[in-house]
Amino acid sequence: MTASAPAAPAIFDEMRAPDGAVRTAYARLAQWLEATPPELLARKRHEADMLFRRLGITFAVYGEGGDTERLIPFDVIPRVLTNPEWTALSEGLVQRVKALNAFLYDVYHDREIVRAGKIPAELIDANEQYRPEMIGVEVPGRIYTHIAGIDVVRVSADQFYVLEDNVRTPSGVSYMLENREAMMRLFPELFARNRVQPVGHYPDELLKSLRSLPPPSAKDKDEPTVVVMTPGAYNSAYFEHVFLAEQMGVELVEGQDMFVEDDKVYMRTVAGPRRVDVIYRRLDDAFLDPAAFRPDSALGVKGLFDAYRKGNVTLANAVGTGVADDKSVYPFVPDMVRFYLGEEPKLANVPTYSLRKPDDLKYALDHLPELVVKETHGSGGYGMLVGPKSTAAEIEAFRARILAKPEHYIAQPTLALSTCPTFVEEGVAPRHLDLRPYLLVGKEVKLVPGGLTRVALRKGSLVVNSSQGGGTKDTWVLEG
């Protein structure tokens, strides 16, 4: 990417046009907001907090001392999309996840995309998430990422950008579901006035999707035995693991509950060993099987990887998907869409400078105050420079880090993330947002209309991560 950065456009507010007119999606919500006093919003927010705490919907923050169990702040004002907006967005997401799956198959088979000169081989081979053990392994339906969370941001009425792909074990879908549940409890009248498409069937769709790709040797191909595998009660996303297992009505297992015999996976039940066909695993590749990966892992199951390789169990997601969602591979996703699907990408990437390229590096170093610089392997918004929000000293410190290892960084123009009215200390005010829709890939690709909207609660902040003062909102896709 060598084109110059686009001029900073005006911030797009999703509720109001610059002239103050209310946009279609928010017509009814705006009326309601006007008629609702801040005291009522405050009371409802308090009720929501009580509800979430009672249900134990917390997340863990590490490295800051103090209480590690926290509530993600929940904003009671929903974020709204019209059906046409959603349809256009979801078509782009479906296309993207298909390309990512095709890429993963290719990575572990013939590497046609490398041979075609579209992606440098070292981006794959030098990637920490690349699993050479997966070369030549046939996975059911050639699907690698069964559950994907693709983060998008909006900058104008019809421009969405993909910020990043999460194709390993994306989390947060329980918040999408609980946020809706809370909103319906707190504001039933809002749902009577707005026709909001439901999201509550996500667990059913997830189960259907997982069941649609049984391993070749499964006994019952129509109703294979599905389990959710968790690292355990001390994992920061344990609540979500419990929630999803409960909602799907399947067992929540830990590594110690399973064993492998004759390359088949069984769980230990009170009625004796029971064959496991599909594992929705919520732990990283490295911990899955001490015989294949990290030998010190006490969380995995010995022999699981062999059972998997031999087609006796489906892992969702597959092993080795991380090679597709690394920030160094991200700039190539639009090329993947063209290469594998022969289509133009419907959903654009954020213009990205790969600092491993000398030209891009030079540009980035010259324009640091305007750019956002991210570590290619970083997550959670920590290894990140937001140029316009940083002091000269911070920029210089980061410059030194980039120069030490330029290949570890990418840079992007600072995006004017869209805003949406949010209930904060000063009252109802615009705050920046992103959106993580969840895609389910089985025999077909499905997604429920909505996702997890994250909101930066601090005025002017662009960082929406829950570990950095972000909150969440219910996400509405209207009917019609």
Partner 1 sequence: MLSRAADSLYWMARYMERAENMARLLDVSYRMSLSSTDGDSEQMQWGPALVVAGCEAPFKATGKTADSRNVIEYLALDPRNPSSIRNSLGAARENARAMRTQITTEMWESLNSTWLEIRGLDYARLEERGLRAFFDWVKERSHLFRGVAYGTMPRDAAFRFVRAGTFLERGDSTARLLDVKYHVLLPTARDVGGAVDYYQWGALLRSVSAFQAYRRIYRDAIRPRRVAELLILRPDMPRSVAASLGELTRLLDELREQFGRNYRSAGLARAAFDRLRYAHIEEVFATGLHEFLTEIVDSNIAIGKAIAEDFGLPY
57/324 with CB nearer partner 1: 57
Rounded to whole angstroms, how far apart are CA atoms 165 and 37? 39
Shortest Å distance, C-beta 234 to partner 1: 10
Which of residues 192, 271, 393, 404 is near partner 1 by CB under 8 A?
Answer: 271
119 or 253: CB nearest partner 1: 253
Instruction: Report in angstroms how near the CB of residue 193 gets to partner 1 at its nearest.
Output: 31
φ/ψ bin of 322: left (φ > 0), alpha (ψ from -120 to 50), beta (otherwise) = alpha
DSSP secondary-structure letter at 405?
-
Question: Does the protein bind partner 1 through residue 278 (CB under 8 A)?
Answer: no
Position 272 contacts partner 1 (CB under 8 A): yes
**Bridge partners of 219?**
none
- Which of 269, 298, 338, 362 touches partner 1 by CB under 8 A? 269
CB of 140 to partner 1, least distance (A): 25
The torsion angle over the Cα atoms of residues 95, 96, 101 and 103, rounded to 10 degrees, is 110
Q: Is 474 in the site for partner 1 (CB under 8 A)?
A: no
Distance CA 71, CA 50 (A): 10
Least Å distance, CB 303 to partner 1, is 19
CA distance 4 to 20: 32
Site for partner 1 contains 270 (CB under 8 A): yes
Angle at CA 95, nearest 5°, toward 93 and 99?
115
Interactions with partner 1, residue window 235-264 (CB under 8 A): 242, 245-246, 251-254, 256-257
Tokens 């103050």 belong to: 20
Asked whether 145 and 441 are in contact (CB, 8 A), the reply is yes
C-alpha 75/C-alpha 58 separation (Å) is 15
**Pick 144 or 243: Cβ nearer partner 1:** 243
The site string for partner 1 over 44-73 (x = CB under 8 A, - otherwise) reads ----------xxx-----------------
20 dihedral zone (left: phi>0; alpha: psi -120 to 50; beta): left
- # of chain residues touching partner 1 (CB under 8 A): 19
Q: Nearest distance from residue 238's CB to partner 1, in Å?
A: 8
Residue 349: cis peptide before it, omega within 30 degrees of 0:
no
Interface of this chain with partner 1, residues 177 to 236, rule: CB under 8 A? 233
Q: Which residue type sits at 120?
A: P
Interface residues toward partner 1, by CB under 8 A: 54-56, 233, 242, 245-246, 251-254, 256-257, 267-272
